[in-house]
Structure 1
Amino acid sequence: MGGHSADPKTGHYIGSWGKFGCPTPQRIATYALSPNRQRPFAGAFNAAIFNTFRRFRHQVLYVVPPFVVAYAAMNWAVERNEYLNSKPGRLLEGEE
């Protein structure tokens, strides 16, 4: 089990346990950029301003109207509650 011989099904040696596969690949090109040449935040401030404005402009009509309706309903409910708990409101509803 797991010896150093050929696989009985295919007849190929695939490597010992933990070292399966082929030998190290050849002709692999790697490229790197020097750390002092990288600019990770190049244009980030400028892009952040315009991107934030663009996102706000596209989403404002989805967010503002429900908040306006909710504020108007809450304001009406508070005023109605204050009126019904005042002297004129109680007299109008028939309580003594």
Structure 2
Amino acid sequence: MIKKTRSRPWALAGGQEPEPNQVVVFPGTEREARVSTKRTRVEVGDRVTLLTAGGGGHGAPGERDPDAVREDVAEGFVSAEAARDVYGVTGDV
């Protein structure tokens, strides 16, 4: 038995709320449609693109520990601009 869930995926680190996963059928055509919970018939040769949520975060960016943001900048996970604009962390980042 296959169970479906409707919860958004958890993220790996601090940041924005993650987006839900999506399925795009017939991408780049006039029939393009984004589906998530409805059934869509596809035939052999039809194109389907899966958009996964990727990273995001647990909680609001402004509540993230500034030292953790600085570590992310040092590791190359976050740019200095994002540290300033998204997380509000300035100074030596």
Could you tell me the TM-score, scaled by structure 2's length?
0.20
Could you tell me the TM-score, scaled by structure 1's length?
0.19
**Which gives a bigger RCO, structure 1 or 2 (Cα 8 Å, sep 6+)?**
2
Structure number having the greater helix percentage: 1
For the pair shown, the structure with the greater C-alpha radius of gyration is 1
